[in-house]
Structure 1
Amino acid sequence: MSQALAVPRTVAAITLLGLLCSQTASAGPIWSTSEIHLQHGSLDTPSFAGGGDADTTIVTLQNASGWEKIELFVFLDIIDDNRSDGFNDSDLYGELYVGGGFGKLSGKDLSFGPFKDIGWVFGINHADDAKVWKYLPGLRLYWNAPGFAFLNTDITAYIDDSRGVGRGGAPKESDSFMVDFAWAYPFSVGEQKFSIEGHMEYIDGRRNEFGGEVASWILAQPQFRWDIGHALGWGESHLFLGIEYQYWRNKLGDPNTDESALQALVVLQL
């Protein structure tokens, strides 16, 4: 993608995300958190895109909001690396999830075993350059986990609606399923405040439109955050420093690429 096209598409995506966040705020959520992430590290390029690795910068715009019976999570990644090879060159990737607990919807206690509620979730994943669209309807399990801000498990379908090679995108794929664990665990050591948060997903294997194998993958992205804003007396939960570790077995379905990478992380919470 040319830089001339990248700028307006990026601006358009940022504008749409900003409008979405402002609309959720004006609708009066019970809670809402918006963040800007800056990450930098050396990430692998799958073998089907040339292989090797490249210094990669990712800017993430993220919002999580909750109402009495529904919750929203949306993020947009703006990705660029130091190689002009058609992979991660001013690319955009975003995900949106809407869900809620059946217990909250019905007003009944649906807790069982280690879970405090069971609910529904619907997700959309989109990769801009690859023209990939995935839809993820399924169930969400809310764990009763003391000390965690949240601990959820999503079990969803992974339904492909991509544009395919004939329309200038990545190959279309058969449908599959996903299991995802997402968490946030805040803690303190003395007067310093930290958190460990992130997610880990398994997406089952499938076939592309040419009959080739798309390998199942495991992607884990835990973050370790230090609340440096609190440490410097600037207020709690505004500015964080840390690292994100990315482990991606069979990255993007490529059985020849297993990624293990540390990225420097700065988070501004709005």
Structure 2
Amino acid sequence: MKTIRFAAAFALAATCACAAQAADWSDTSLSYRYGSKFSEPYNGNDIVKHVVNFSHSSGYKYGTNFFSVDYLMSDENDPSAAGARSGAHEAYALYRHTLDLGKVMGREFKYGPIRGLGVTAGFDINSKTDAGYNSKKRMLVLGPTVMFDVPGFLNLSLVALHESNAPYSTFTQTATDRYRYDTHAALFASWGIPFPNIPLAFEGYANYIGTKGKNEFGGPTAVEINVDMKLMYDVSPLVGANKNTFKLGVAYQYWKNKFGNPAKTVPGATARTPMVRAEYHF
């Protein structure tokens, strides 16, 4: 396990160093999304959330970078403290770097629908102010990636995840020491596919995450499925802006066994959330 953590940290440091080179292209955006059917484990209520996001993606000589920060604001059905009427706030950040092996080695890894091969490394980190759990997630990500030859992009990664958390319950005023789950496998897919001849794109990600052993309270964990997809329409010409500056659309998230909590025994562990979304790219 120590070897895996060291390898992930080393790979992340190495890819960040490579990413310091000048970008060949980049896209930075601010977005807003809204939904009224969010769900949280151990909470049987539908939750309204307003989500503000900052994202940056770029490509350079040897690969690509992606960085994203969500700031999620819940209504009172996801309270910020025991007995409080205000909703919880959460910040969730992730970073992914994909090193293109073909570009590094000066050769092509093309075969049929496959455009290339890479190695993806990164991290997730979050902090939430909810009453019951107060998540402080930390996670390292490392594994191979297949890049498919499609309009836009479609990447599929098989990764190892090393995750820990150190929650604090305001109900019981009990802190839990940082707990490390079993290192576990996951299959990550991400895509951005433009429609031909119309300013519409189908974008999103799908994660299949294996069980991670016992949770910090000794209970079982379950396979986690998280699919977040969106249809975005480029409205920039309607407001006299450059192409792909302003986008409006709809999104849908299906999240089963959220955070590894078994939906069979944990209320609120499965979310089915339609959303509206607006983006500004610069």
CA shift in 2, pair 1:241/1:81, >3 Å: same
Instruction: Tell me the CA shift for residue 168 of structure 1.
Output: 5.1
Where in structure 1 do 4 or more consecutive aligned residues deviate above 6 Å? none
Q: Which runs of 5+ in 2 are unaligned?
A: 1-18, 82-86, 129-134, 169-173, 264-268
2:160 equivalent to 1:157: yes
Residues 1:202 and 2:214 aligned together:
no
| Alpha-carbon distance in 1 for matches of 2:118, 2:98 | 7
State whether residues 46 and 252 of structure 1, in contact with CA within 8 Å, keep that contact through their aligned partners in structure 2.
Answer: no
For structure 1, which segment, 244-253 or 72-81, has the greater mean C-alpha deviation from structure 2 after superposition? 244-253
Which residue matches 1:182? 190
- Give 1:219 deviation, angstroms: 0.7
Find 2:199's aligned residue among 193, 201, 213: 193
Aligned partner letter, 1:163: A
Q: CA deviation at 1:92?
A: 0.3
1:61-83 alpha-carbon deviations (Å, 9 max, x no partner): 00001101021101000010111
**Rounded Cα–Cα distance in structure 1 between residues aligned with 2:179 and 2:39:** 17
How far, CA to CA, are the matches of 2:167 and 2:71 in structure 1?
22
Whether 2:30 is the aligned partner of 1:30: answer no
Structure 1 CA distance for aligned equivalents of residues 217 and 262 of structure 2: 17
> Quick one: which amino acid aligns to residue 276 of structure 2?
A
The alignment's TM-score, normalised by the length of structure 1, stands at 0.82
Code of the residue aligned with 2:41 in structure 1: it is S
* Among 216, 219, 228, the residue aligned to 2:223: 216
What is the CA–CA distance in structure 2 between the aligned matches of 1:156 and 1:40, rounded to whole Å? Answer: 30
Q: Distance in 2 between matches of 1:164 and 1:56?
A: 21
TM-superposition CA deviations, 1:162-185 (whole Å, max 9, x none): 335675578642221110111111
Checking the alignment, whether the CA contact within 8 Å between 1:132 and 1:170 is kept in structure 2 is: no
The answer to whether residue 92 in structure 2 is matched with residue 93 in structure 1 is yes
* Conserved? CA contact 1:44–1:53, under 8 Å: yes
Greater shift in the superposed pair: 199-208 or 37-46: 37-46
1:14 aligns with none
Partner Cα separation in structure 2 for residue 131 and residue 222 of structure 1: 26
The structure with more helix, counted as a fraction of residues: 1
- What SS does the aligned partner of 2:259 have? helix
Tell me by how many angstroms 1:269 deviates: 0.5
The answer to whether the 8 Å contact 2:65/2:95 transfers is: yes
Equivalent in the alignment of 1:140: 145
**RMSD between superposed Cα atoms in Å:** 2.2
Contact 1:132 1:169 in 2 (8 A): no
Q: Map 1:106-117 onto structure 2 (within 5 A).
A: 106-117=105-116
Report what 2:67 is aligned to.
74
- Separation in structure 2 between the aligned mates of residue 132 and residue 255 of structure 1, nearest angstrom: 18
Between the aligned partners of 2:192 and 2:218, the Cα distance in structure 1 is 39
Question: How much has 1:236 moved relative to structure 2?
Answer: 0.8
Q: Give the structure 1 partner of residue 54 of structure 2.
A: 61
Of structures 1 and 2, the one scoring higher in RCO (CA 8 A, sep 6+) is 2
- 1:174, 1:208 within 8 Å by CA — same for their partners in 2? no
Residues 121-150 of structure 1: per-residue CA shift (max 9 Å, x gap)? 1010111131110111101111112xx211
TM-score (norm 2): 0.79
Q: Deviations over 1:47-73 (max 9, x none)?
A: 32x321111000010000110102110
Pick closer, same or farther for the CA change 1:170–1:219 going to 2, 3 Å. farther
Count residues in correspondence.
Answer: 241
8 Å CA contact 1:135–1:161 kept in 2: the answer is no
% identity of equivalent residues: 21
Contact persistence 2:38–2:49 (CA under 8 A): no
